[in-house]
Amino acid sequence: MPSGVFQIQAKDSVVRLGAFDAVNAIQNLSFDPTFNEENFSELGNPNFTATSRSPETSGSFEVTATGSIPSVLARLIFNYTTQSYLFDPATGGNTYSITEDDFENAIFDVLNLKRPGGTFDQALVVPNAQLTGFSLRADATGTASETYTFEADRQEAYYKPYHDMVSVPLITVTATTADIPAAFSTINSGTHHIMKVFKDDEEFDSTVATWSDLDTITVTGGGFELIAPFNRLTALLYKISAGAFPTIFYPTTARFVKGDRIDVWLVNSGTTTTDANRLLKCQSADMNIDLTRDALQQIKRNDNLNTTYWRGLNYPLNITATLVVNEVDLSLWAGLEGQTLNETADVDTIDANNLMDLVSFETQKLELRYYRQGNETALATIVVTDMDINGFGDAQQVGGRLERTIGLTGSNMTIVGTTS
């Protein structure tokens, strides 16, 4: 390591998701490995005689909102039938449509590439990570953000000359051979060495995985599936001659999204969202998509020191949201109960439209739209159509204003992006 380097700062690190470019606007990245140690002892011995370890790791990364949620998620969602990711490296962009069904196969590789002291010479890789949730945060005074969390079984760090790394999805050819897709044609035996090949959770190192052609890898004893759904095959490669430190890629023209570039609607589920029913008094919006996964395990001899072979996603999803609004009248509240206020109501008999209670709330639709600025096409639209209000609270103080906090829960969502 170069002399005089005492720390690695944010400027010294970028995140690459598999084979895709370094993600833009990363604010925070964290890893939390655990070893799950089990100590063994014996009669007559005052000390532990051995320790068994089952390593796991978890982590998260935070992204400043740029309207690129569809683009980021598309890099994480794998299709076992086509052996490709939802993200298209040829067209890039942000134009993807994602529903809750797509999260089941959100499995990807996280690569953290580092250059302490200005020299690109280190890399950390978490292969076969699975998305365990993501959350959105926006308020009227600050910059919006998203946080993505993941879990995996291993975490490995490499020093040069192995540090310029990439993880590429492979296409099955035979039971022991697989090709690098045409979209990654610049990656081949002339540019990269093989570090490892993964068949789902099973690992093959470079003693059994070799280049058999310019873009074909042969794996001794591979046993790849030859009919759909195929295996998720990935090759962890490193450059023969290391290149420059990766540049940051921006899927949209926005560098950040603030509260004045977001629209929030909360309307009855069957209501069309228009500017007329926009929730203009919203102060903050938080949404959490919890992808609860079970670590599925098996008894099987392997070199990975872990029995987890998949983390199964449980449905229905648990989508929660919290909105804080400035309360100025009851018209909004009446709308959430499917009522239209009647100012000319009969004074002798209470008009039901003018009565709001706790039992009349209808199923709601929550919609968030992210913009670069002004009234152009939204960069990203997030819609949860089946939300129910599960609670609310009022807070009022001297010298302040009445704020109402609305809690919602649902399971059905759609995320749609555009390239702008």
- Where is pLDDT greater, at 162 or 328? 162
What would the mean pLDDT of 55-62 be, rounded to a whole number?
Answer: 93
Same domain, 22 and 170: yes
Q: Where are the alpha helices (DSSP H) in 248-400?
A: 331-336
Q: Give the model's pLDDT for residue 331.
A: 67
43 within domain boundaries: no
In contact, 208 and 220? CB cutoff 8 Å: yes
Cβ partners under 8 Å of residue 11, min gap 6: none
Q: Which of 193, 218, 249 is the last residue of a domain?
A: 249
Q: Does the structure show a pLDDT above 90 at 351?
A: no
Same domain, 413 and 307: yes
Same domain, 136 and 59: yes
Same domain, 232 and 294: no
Same domain, 281 and 242: no
- Where is pLDDT greater, at 397 or 98? 98
177 within domain boundaries: yes
In degrees, rounded to 5, the angle at the alpha carbon of residue 416 between the alpha carbons of residues 414 and 420 is: 165
Q: Hey, what's the torsion of the CAs at 355, 360, 363, 364, to 10 degrees?
A: 30
Residue whose tokens read 């068994």: 52
48 within domain boundaries: no
Q: Which of 224, 249, 274 is the last residue of a domain?
A: 249
Same domain, 18 and 137: yes
Residue whose tokens read 């309360």: 327
% of the chain at pLDDT higher than 70: 97
| Sequence-separated contacts (24+) of 89-94 with Cβ below 8 Å | 89/19, 89/20, 89/183, 89/184, 90/183, 92/251, 93/251, 93/419, 94/67, 94/68, 94/70, 94/251, 94/252, 94/379, 94/380, 94/417, 94/418, 94/419, 94/420
What would the mean pLDDT of 303-311 be, rounded to a whole number?
Answer: 83
42 within domain boundaries: no
60 within domain boundaries: yes
pTM: 0.92
In contact, 126 and 76? CB cutoff 8 Å: no
**What does the alpha-carbon distance between residue 129 and residue 18 come to, in Å, rounded to a whole number?**
10
For 207, the domain range is 12-33+54-249
Same domain, 226 and 341: no
Q: Give the model's pLDDT for residue 2.
A: 52
41 within domain boundaries: no
% of the chain at pLDDT higher than 90: 62
- Where is pLDDT greater, at 396 or 65? 65
What would the mean pLDDT of 401-411 be, rounded to a whole number?
Answer: 88
Same domain, 229 and 268: no
Same domain, 186 and 280: no
Looking at 75-119, which runs of residues are DSSP E strands? Answer: 78-79, 84-85, 97-99, 107-114
Q: Which tokens go with 44?
A: 């007559």
Domain count, the chain: 2
In contact, 109 and 195? CB cutoff 8 Å: no
What would the mean pLDDT of 259-264 be, rounded to a whole number?
Answer: 91
Q: Each residue of 63-117: pLDDT tens digit? A: 999 999 999 999 999 999 999 999 998 888 899 999 999 999 999 999 999 998 8
* Best CA proximity match to 57, nearest among 162, 130, 107: 130
**What does the alpha-carbon distance between residue 400 and residue 409 come to, in Å, rounded to a whole number?**
29
Same domain, 361 and 393: yes
pLDDT band at residue 1 under the 50/70/90 scheme: very low
Same domain, 221 and 272: no
Q: What is the side-by-side strand order in the sheet with 209-211? A: 171-172, 177-179, 216-219, 209-211
Q: Which of 249, 280, 310 is the last residue of a domain?
A: 249
In contact, 65 and 146? CB cutoff 8 Å: yes
Q: Does the structure show a pLDDT above 60 at 224?
A: yes
**What does the alpha-carbon distance between residue 126 and residue 142 come to, in Å, rounded to a whole number?**
32
Three-state SS at 61: strand
Mean pLDDT of the chain: 90
6 within domain boundaries: no
Same domain, 237 and 264: no
pLDDT band at residue 43 under the 50/70/90 scheme: very high
What would the mean pLDDT of 53-68 be, rounded to a whole number?
Answer: 92
